Chain A
Amino acid sequence: MFARVAAFEFRYQLRSPVFWAVLALFFLLTFGAMASSEISIGDPNTSVHKNGALSLAMTQMIMAVFFMFVSTAFVANVIVRDDETGFGPIIRATRITRFDYLFGRFTGAFAVVALAFLAVPLGSFVGTLMPWVDPETLGPNRLAFYLQPYVTIVLPTLLLSSALFFAVATITRSVMLTYVGVLAFLLLYGISRAVMRANPDLREIAALSDSFGFGAVALITRYWTGAEANSQTVPLAGIVLVNRLIWSAVALVALGFAWWRFRFAMPSVAARKPAKGDDLAPQRVAALPMPDQRAALWPRLGTQIGFEMGLIVRSPAFFVLLMVGLLNSAGAMLLPDAMYGTPTYPATFLLIKALQGSFALAPLIIAGFYAGELVWRDRDRRMHEIIDATALPNWAQLVPKYLALVAVLFATLLAGVVAALLVQLGKGFTAFHFAEYLLWFVLPGAVDMALLGGLALVLQVLAPNKYVGWGLLLVYFVVSSVLDPLGWQHPLYQYGSTGPNPLSDMNGDGVGGVSGWWFRLYWTSFLVILLTLAHLLWRRGTETRFAPRARFALARLRGGAGLVGALALLVMAATGTWLYHQTNQLNQYETSLDTDRHLAEFEKRYLALETAPEPSVSTIRLNVNLYPQQRLMLATGTYALVNRTAVPIRDVHLVLPEHARDVLALAISGAHLVTDDDVHFVRIYRFDRPLAPGAGATMVFTVRRWQRGINAKGDDQRLVANGTFLDNSEIAPVIGIHRSAMLSDPVKRRKYGLPSELRMAKLEDDSARARNYIDNADWVASDITLSTDADQTPVAPGRRVSDSTAHGRRTARFVSTAPILNFWSIQSARYAVKSRMSDGVQLSVYYDPAHPYNVDRMLNAFDAGLRYYRANFGPYQFDYARIVEFPGYQTFAQAFAGTMPYSEGIGFLGDFRNPDNIDYATYVAAHELGHQYWAHQLIPADRQGGTLMTETLAQYSALMVMKHRYGEDKIRRFLQYELDSYLRSRGGERLEEQPLVRVENQGYIHYRKGAVALYLLQDRLGEDRVNAMLRTLLARYRFQGPPFASSTDLTAGFHALARNPEEAQLVSDTLERITLYDFKAEHAQTRKLPNGQWQTTLTVRAGKAYADGKGKETPAPLHQAVDIGLFTEKPGKAAFGAGNVLMRQRYPVTDGVQTFTLITARKPRFAGIDPYNMFIDRNSDDNIVSVD
């Protein structure tokens, strides 16, 4: 009986349209992800093969999450269909046993689910066969790569989701409530993941408790390189095996629960309690009142809306959906992306950003689900004949339903605002800005939701049944996601698109705020047209076929509906034309694909010219006029050019940067224009007589930057009403052809026929020392006059020699006191300024008055940093050091000559009230100040290892400031973040990893690894000795032209500091190779000695390996002195300090297992090898062990 029941169920579910629809959908999704270079699931990394073992496994695991909805559809149907169809009593009157009924059916349904999922590996496989797929992104197809994750990881997930929701369906006997359970499960999952992610100590627990297995797989493959990810399937062992076993057991428990709770008898329908007033007498009239259709019009609309809203709000599903959305966004608001684990103040604009991000899906679900319910409810409940026979006009059926849907969505927005306010209150932040909530979130959100709800409603009216309507909405969702990557990027044909509208405390919604409303008007009129169509095609009575309804619709066009539609069409046409004028005539519209193509062409045409001799710039003189309210800049510049090469120069190659293409004047003395490429914005000037070595010329230019109209890809974010921040690359023409602007993504490069990599010059290439890596910027003397609105403060590099206000304009002049690189910035905003003197240098912070929280902290950081750097590296070349805030459209900080722009999104809003949190504001400020030496005094050559001299040394400088401020013992927390970040990022390397001396501008190496590496070197070789060596480097290269400094100079310097072969080995291993150590504290035991001291035995395992660029490792012998330590508290914890160190001493360590016996005065609780994570350790967690 069991087998037959299962077989019947299998055949029955196989025939359901859901099965085939799901098969098609998932096949297409995975096929699309594999076959398209633009669409991807998960991480679009390009050194990892799309059909490598790990990629395929990840694809399947991600799809398994979405598949929860599918498996629920099947298994819930098993339980519910008997009751819903009314066939139940007949089945139950047969001899079937509870076991056979329940589990036979479940088995059949689960088999169908498992079968349907095969569409995923199949889709991936077929995708790899497509001829247009970039072969570099594929490896060999191995059956094991497709099947192993399916069997070992996915099947248990499918079993879990089937069993779990089978149990839920058994209890609730309602498909809708079961889906609500799915959403609740996903929500709980999301929240638990977010909470666990914040605390790296919980990694193991997180891995075990992750029902989909992501945590376990991530833990195992954390540090896998590209080569490993491509060729190794995730072994079903260790934590992965335990995780799968745990969740399979949970599945079985769920099935057991379902068995226990299932009864053949139907649950009784809970009757509503009779309300009060049962003893009242009815009001009786002899003659019933007559209807008055005209008077009833508006009241009818009102009560209808209320009635429809009531039906939605009272359904239990709505409450749960709302909770899901709210908790999801609460999660996003409470755990924002914090830098180094430190939280940020919950400023309103940040919370709105979080709300917008996390609120994207829940309203879509609510809108889609309820649109289906609203349109089809009367028919599903078989009330439609009664309703349709009443005198209710057609539009009075559609409009109230629509308005009710909008009202409900609006309510969810308000709920979001309430949640945000609670978060702010909870964190003690009282700058609520209610107006911002209203204007930036509630109102635009309401319109956007109305657009979405309207579309969902219209699709339901057009579809032949509710499920097709939902399917259509899903198709819309998928299509709208793929339009952008495929190059269809214009907001005028993307439904509901309003263009980017980033928010900022400094600049409000200035970018894209007003234009967004024009787009909303445009799309609203389109929606009205759609709603009119839906109204005309509205189903009334029993006629459900499309053709007669269409005929009816045409006939009714001549009425009020037609008028409304025509009016909407008029508005849409008018707005659309105006918007088109703004986007495509006042601005240049280019899709990102076109931009890429132009970049590729630029490279093909001009790359050969990159080594051509160009004149250098010796002085720059600029007059920049900013009109922030009009988003207009007019800049006039004069560059004094000089030929510092040994050969005569015939041509000067100029590239007009992206936002400075509105050139009003450009001329070079003694030269004439020979090429004006206005597609790639290259101008070539030829000297009438070639410029002799040592001779000079002058370049004058006038450039205008003006945001007019509306830019389809987003308005100017750098030149804004309050918070302008422009740099030289956005104002002045660039001399020479440089690689910085060319395509770097290998996939894109191959697509356009370029060699897949454009690598910088090798370390061995001495000719590369003739150019530096900031587009070969020269050391110049600068004289910048900057004028802006009278109520704003202009800031540019240089000493502020004059500052006056007249006729509504404020003008300041900045003259450099020391050579600066031709790499400068201008900023202007309504700033508050706080200054302090530090030994003759004026330290200032220019900040938005609303962000005073960390200004003192930044000034302190500058003070401490300046003292250290002047004492240890050499003189500071300016008499000013400025931090200048700019809007949070981007979150970074940058160093120009003595002037450091700093985003409002980092540092200014960091919440450092808890001293246990890492003070990254100080760290970043010290880093940027460090750059005043490492970049603004010494600039390296444009070849491998360049950024070692700038970024890594800036990291080192900041680390020393932190070390002196917080003490050596607290530095571990920080180093662990950096180490972890480096190790994690290795797997994401696109080309090949490099040792530090050859780093090719790879951030994870020069920032993260660099920090750890240099900290280790100064720990071994001595901070003062290292600083002395750096001093000599600076003295040698300060403000020098070619030949520029090189990483080889730094490694030579470190080698000179090595006092014995072991230290020399360490220098080589750290800087010249990719070395991975593996220190593990295995076991520690202590006992009290008779003399009161404690003897501890610590067993460690150590190893060392060298890795190549692709991650392949070879073991190497280890002979290294490494710290061994005993502590009373675990290093790295916030509370850990110098007082917790019982002993920390260096012992020689070799590879293999070793035991150390140590004596301390007090009892140790923790023991470790390299306890402060100074070495690049493959696993930073296992260096410390608690003592038994």
Chain B
Amino acid sequence: MLVLESVTHTYPNGVRALDDVSLTIPAGMFGLLGPNGAGKSTLMRTIATLQTPRSGTVRFGEIDVIAQPERLRETLGYLPQDFGVYPRVSAYAMLDHLAVLKGIAGRGERKATVETLLDQVNLWGARHKAIAGFSGGMRQRFGIAQALIGNPRLIIVDEPTAGLDPEERNRFLNLLAAIGENVVVILSTHIVEDVTDLCPRMAIMGMGRILAQGAPADMIAQLAGTIWARTLDRADLPAIAERHRVISTRLSGGRMVVHVVSADDPGEGFAPIAGGLEDVYFATLHPTMQPAPVAA
């Protein structure tokens, strides 16, 4: 169980990256949803012991992560949002090296670890190729392989599917889903489908704050009956936006589909729809009426 209490972090230029974040994350998949710049990566790095918050506590089991980061690192797997590679090193050699860094000492054990993981992420055929020459998807697969070394009990993956094609994305999510139940897996992403498909619990983060948390189904149920949709022309949009709380606009077949949140029937041709997680997401991010973004 990972518990964060009032974690706050301010950068030297005054930006509040994390603003009084409190979360309780049990074992299993946990989705952290939020737009770019919300503070997700900062939060991930803080939990991964790479950053120390100004105030607040982070506890994993009985480990006080801020005071004793080395204890957490012994059982941590971390896939950063953006990572590079050493030149002239093969996937096998690099994974082997990382296994050593993580504490798998014996050569036989390392061999078993490295080969199993390479097979699991389907990089076995490319194991002697230099990582520097890998495509984006192959690199991500390598990243998840290294995060799984040593059976960590806390796995953090930061924006793992950005830039992957649909097939690779599926493969990746299947891999994550196969991880055991006693492991806390935090999936930080801005792709709503990832969370919908995979996570029994989630939180929505914006501007450094946790805006909502709970089970997706519960959060969707909360909005039941308040989501309305309508198709209209682009020109009509500003008028609608003034009168209703528009949460999303999308083009479909040349015309615009608008979702609004309203406790009662807004009329004007709006029809109720069963809201999805995306609607929950947008609604949480924009709690008040705001001018809708005008598609170019």
- Hey, which bits of chain A sit against chain B, CB under 8 A? 269, 271-272, 274-275, 277-278, 282-285, 287-293, 295-296, 299-300, 303-304, 307, 311, 314-315, 377, 380-383, 385-393, 540-543, 545, 548
Contact = CB atoms under 8 A, between A and B. Distances in A.
Nearest to B126: A274
13 contacts: A272-B90, A274-B129, A275-B128, A282-B119, A283-B111, A283-B112, A288-B113, A295-B106, A296-B103, A381-B85, A383-B85, A388-B49, A389-B50
A390 B83 CA distance: 15
B45 A385 contact: yes
B150 A542 contact: no
A168 to B, nearest CB: 20
B246 interface: no
B166 interface: no
A540 B50 contact: yes
B167 interface: no
Contacts of A300: 100-101, 103, 105
Contact of B130 (A271, A288, A388): A271
A1060 B228 CA distance: 132
Interface in B178-231: none
A382 B82 contact: yes
A1093 B211 CA distance: 116
A451 to B, nearest CB: 28
A272 B105 contact: no
B76 to A, nearest CB: 6
Contacts of A272: 88, 90, 128-130, 133
B113 A289 contact: yes
Contacts of A303: 97, 100
Interface in B57-97: 70, 73-74, 76, 78-80, 82-90, 97
B150 A288 contact: yes
A289 B111 CA distance: 10
Contacts of A288: 112-113, 116-117, 148-151
B282 interface: no
Contacts of A311: 86, 89
Contacts of B51: 541-543
B292 interface: no
B73 A389 contact: yes
Contact of A389 (B48, B105, B112, B130): B48
B125 interface: yes
A1043 B101 CA distance: 88
A405 to B, nearest CB: 17
A269 B132 contact: yes
B98 interface: yes
B125 A387 contact: no
A1041 B133 CA distance: 91
From A293, A295, A377, residue with most partner B Cβ within 10 Å = A293
B146 A386 contact: yes
Most buried by B among A283, A292, A381, A385: A385
B84 A291 contact: no
B104 interface: yes
B244 to A, nearest CB: 41
A442 to B, nearest CB: 30
B102 interface: yes
A618 B143 CA distance: 94
Q: Is the interface of A mostly helix, strand, loop or mixed?
A: loop
B149 A387 contact: no
A296 B45 contact: no
Contacts of B98: 386-387, 390
B148 A391 contact: no
A311 B115 CA distance: 23
Contacts of B74: 291, 293, 391
A543 B66 CA distance: 14
B172 interface: no
B102 A390 contact: yes
B118 interface: yes
A289 B129 contact: no
Contacts of A274: 128-129
B102 A381 contact: no
A380 B84 CA distance: 8
B128 A389 contact: no
B12 interface: yes
A285 B73 CA distance: 23
Contacts of B148: 288
A275 B126 CA distance: 10
A385 B124 contact: no
Contact of B83 (A278, A292, A386): A386
B105 A295 contact: yes
Contact of A290 (B84, B130, B151): B151
Contact of B104 (A285, A287, A289): A289
Contacts of B49: 388-389, 541
Contacts of A304: 100-101
A387 B101 contact: yes
B105 A314 contact: no
B268 interface: no
B100 A278 contact: no
A289 B143 CA distance: 19
Nearest to B92: A275
A269 B101 contact: no
Interface in B5-19: 12
Contact of A543 (B52, B97, B103): B52
B54 to A, nearest CB: 10
Contacts of B103: 291-293, 296, 300, 391
Given A385-B45, A541-B51, A292 B105 contact: yes
Contacts of A390: 73, 76, 98, 101-102
Interface string B124-150: 110011101100000000010010111
A912 B157 CA distance: 76
A85 to B, nearest CB: 14
B104 A382 contact: no
B78 to A, nearest CB: 4
Contacts of A278: 125, 128
Contacts of B87: 381
Contacts of B86: 311, 377, 381, 383
A292 B99 CA distance: 11
A271 B138 CA distance: 15
Contact of B105 (A299, A381, A393, A541): A299
A293 B103 CA distance: 5
Given A292-B105, A304-B100, A383-B84, A284 B150 contact: no
B185 to A, nearest CB: 15
A1054 B84 CA distance: 86
Nearest to B51: A542
Contact of B133 (A271, A385, A548): A271
Which of A292, A383, A391 has the largest count of B CB atoms less than 10 A from its CB?
Answer: A391
B61 to A, nearest CB: 16
The 7 A-B pairs with the shortest beta carbon distances in the complex, nearest first, are A291-B103, A541-B50, A382-B84, A296-B105, A282-B115, A289-B109, A389-B78
Nearest to A385: B80
B45 to A, nearest CB: 6
Contacts of A296: 100, 103-105
Contact of B116 (A275, A282, A393): A282
Nearest to B81: A385
Contacts of A277: 128
A542 B130 contact: no
A385 B116 contact: no
A388 B150 contact: no
B64 to A, nearest CB: 14
Contact of A283 (B78, B88, B116): B116
A1002 to B, nearest CB: 61
A777 B120 CA distance: 95
A584 to B, nearest CB: 46
A287 B119 contact: no
A311 B76 CA distance: 26
Nearest to B94: A383
A745 B117 CA distance: 76
A740 to B, nearest CB: 65
